[in-house]
Amino acid sequence: MAKFGYFLSSEEHGPKELVRQAKLAEQAGFEGLWISDHFHPWLDEQGQSPFVWSVIGAIAEATSLPITTAVTCPLVRIHPVIIAQAAATSAVLTDGRFRLGVGTGEALNEHIVDSRWPPAEERLEMLEEAIEIMRELWSGKLVTHRGEHYDVDTARIYTLPDEPPPIYMSGFGDKSVELAGRVADGYMTTGPSAEMVGKFRTSGGSGKPVQGGLKVCYAADEATARKTVHRLWPTQGIQGEAAQLLPLPRHFEQLAQMVTEEEASKGSPCGPDPEVHVQAIKQYLDAGFDEVYISQIGEEQDAFFDFYAEQVLPRLR
């Protein structure tokens, strides 16, 4: 049976609010958590971006839900050795309920330590090597590594969970999905693409979990919800590779000026009709997803959790 989780938006909310929402999600009947890992928000209007590893530690004490980073980039901003240590500690704190979601990242978050942003193919090579390093470190052995992209000198992680955390990989193009099928323990993406799920399965991912993420906006009326989406997430209407290449929120704001309200909210169910939300989520189930993580856009978090607990999740189950 499919599972339904809540997607915590680190771009919109501060650390204490994220912990509060995690508790509300568990009370509402959600079965897991995604949490985004950013240095910058996409837009200044979103306004937040706390350090995800501190927040995960607090959530681990506040709830009993599984937690997945959606997603961490272990390539440039933070060396994979440090991500390996952070993930291992998170797995210990959560009693094995932590899953490390990884991807090739965006210049928005990674350029802060190196202005050179590698092309997509090189980033995929870096990610494969980073995954190899992290898994080797989770063995508890002393690790020395001299690779094409990373060097590790006599590193050992001492605080380890009983089992290494699973690695789920995000992917949107053919090459990234094929890599996920080959090296990852699960696949994660946004958008209900049966084609990508199928490619993951045939690339080595058969029998492995597939997670999907969806942004929604509950409000008292659909028009208000659409305005909220357009204000906070017009970036949903930006097409192409801009999301991977632009380095600053102001660049996304400039592009977002060309995005209409309709384009921004096209993929997000808006308003108070539970069937609109249910049908959007069912698209993921029909496409073969095992888990769906829903994020409420905007400030009406408490009303959203009441709405989903009473009207949406029961319909899905």
Catalytic machinery residues: 38, 106
- Report helix, strand or coil for 99: strand
Burial 3-31 (b: 16+ CB within 10 A, else e): ebbbbbbbbbbebebbbebbebbbebbbb
The span from the CA of 271 to the CA of 216, in Å, is 9
User: Is residue 66 within 8 Å of residue 32, measured between CB atoms?
Assistant: yes
User: Is residue 188 within 8 Å of residue 213, measured between CB atoms?
Assistant: yes
Torsion over CA of 144, 146, 147 and 150, rounded to 10 degrees? 70
User: Is residue 23 within 8 Å of residue 65, measured between CB atoms?
Assistant: no
DSSP annotation of 106 reads: -
> Torsions phi, psi of 210, nearest 5?
-125, 125
